[in-house]
Amino acid sequence: MKGYVFAGDGRAELRELPVPEIASGEALVRMRLASICATDLKIIDGRIPGRPGTVLGHELVGEIVAVADGVRGYAPGQRVYVPGDTPCGQCYECLGNANGRGCHADGTIAAFHFATQRDGAHAEYVAVPYAQANLTPIPDEVTDEQAVVMACGGSTGFAAVESSELRMGDTVAIVGQGPVGLAATVAARLRGAGYVIAVDVIPWRLEMSMRLGADVALDATQVDVVEIVRRLTGGWMADVAIEAVGTPQTFLTALRLVRPAGVLSSVGNYGMQGSLTLPLDAGAFMGGIGEKRIITSTSPGGKERGRRLMHMIEHGKFDLSPLITHRFPLGEIGAAYELFRDRREPVFKVGIRP
């Protein structure tokens, strides 16, 4: 089979590989549609630890080929959604209130196996770990593109809103309108936000945010975002801010947009880029920063979350498939990665077919 492999030293290449053999508790899934995530680029660039020789990718919709012992209720040919994080379903974090967040099965961070601990989704076949806990059957009414966009970025954006405990009628400012931030924009609307403010520096991203439900879109290169939000809220500032980029600058912007006693929910992937310095001097505390609640989160995995997401899509609650702006066959995946990295034209997500 073909697979796109992290080769080390900032390189990735398409290779011919053996079809994976599955161990107890695993399923062999044939890729129908995968997509590229910014995390894949960070692995190639060394900003997230990767293992040379490992297949990249963690956003996958596929078809079951075979299941090993310990996996019940699935059949060959069944179309399934595979989450980017694959918790074990057995540890304290999985069975307790964390719902799989914080699962460290196999030495992972938050159950992130694909492309770091084991071969990922950018191949013709994928061995899915802890299949019983993670494979979600996809309803006939849900397309591959609607499902795959939720495997990592979409679910992460929703998690940012869920973790913030955003209330009906709240004003929310979402810093970053890539796929994660756009998903947060949609989720904020679903949760009943009274006013949604989108912030980015790329005009075509801001156009998409308005299309998906933002009330106002602010270009941080053209306006003083903090001052505009102060004016829009009558001096109150946002009840909730969501940071969906993963840089110190965007984190601090989000922090300044939150009112005292408000919530900053951060899901940006900072990678290994050094420390994040917060303005925690005495003056900053007196100015209200010390009164703000900061929450960090990730994309939850597991089939129950997948079931809920597919259920909402099935019944028309949202559709993020417009974020799949480009499509490539697996044989041209190098060009797909190049487009996704360079953004020489408007691109949100790039779909990969076998």
Helix (H) or strand (E) holding 133: helix 131-134
* Whether residue 276 sits in one domain with residue 230: yes
Higher-scoring residue by pLDDT: 21, 283: 21
* Whether residue 130 sits in one domain with residue 34: yes
Name the band, by pLDDT with cuts 50, 70 and 90, for residue 344.
confident
Query: Hey, which residues does 265 pair with through a beta bridge?
Result: 242, 295
Question: For residue 324, which of 164, 186, 153 has the smallest C-alpha distance?
Answer: 153
328: containing domain: 2-149+320-353
CATH assignment at residue 240: 3.40.50.720
Q: Does any domain span residue 314? A: no
* Whether residue 282 sits in one domain with residue 174: yes
Q: Does any domain span residue 305? A: no
Domain end: 281, 296, 311, which one?
Answer: 296
| pLDDT for the residue 138 | 99
* Whether residue 140 sits in one domain with residue 58: yes
CATH assignment at residue 29: 3.90.180.10
Q: What value does the mean pLDDT take over residues 186-213? A: 98
Q: Does any domain span residue 303? A: no
Q: Does any domain span residue 165? A: yes
Is residue 268 classed exposed, middle or buried when 0-12, 13-18 and 19+ CB atoms within 10 A define those classes? buried
DSSP letters for 137-168 = EPPTTS-HHHHHTIIIIIHHHHHHHHHHTPPT
Predicted confidence (pLDDT) at residue 289 exceeds the cutoff of 80: no
Q: Does any domain span residue 315? A: no
Q: Does any domain span residue 216? A: yes
| pLDDT for the residue 100 | 65
Q: What value does the mean pLDDT take over residues 336-349? A: 95
Count of domains forming the chain: 2
* Whether residue 142 sits in one domain with residue 165: no
Helix (H) or strand (E) holding 180: helix 179-191
* Whether residue 168 sits in one domain with residue 77: no
Query: Hey, which residues does 351 pair with through a beta bridge?
Result: 35, 327
Name the band, by pLDDT with cuts 50, 70 and 90, for residue 108.
confident
* Whether residue 112 sits in one domain with residue 27: yes
| pLDDT for the residue 287 | 47
Span 6-36, pLDDT tens digits = 999 999 999 999 999 999 999 999 999 999 9
Coil vs helix vs strand at 349: strand
* Whether residue 68 sits in one domain with residue 21: yes
| pLDDT for the residue 281 | 53
Predicted confidence (pLDDT) at residue 155 exceeds the cutoff of 90: yes
CA separation for the pair 216, 219 (Å, rounded): 10
Residue 330 CB neighbour total at 10 angstroms: 19
Span 51-90, pLDDT tens digits = 999 999 999 999 999 999 999 999 999 999 999 999 988 8
CA separation for the pair 178, 116 (Å, rounded): 23
What's the whole-number average pLDDT of the chain? Answer: 92
* Whether residue 168 sits in one domain with residue 143: no
pTM: 0.93
Question: For residue 56, which of 72, 74, 37 has the smallest C-alpha distance?
Answer: 37
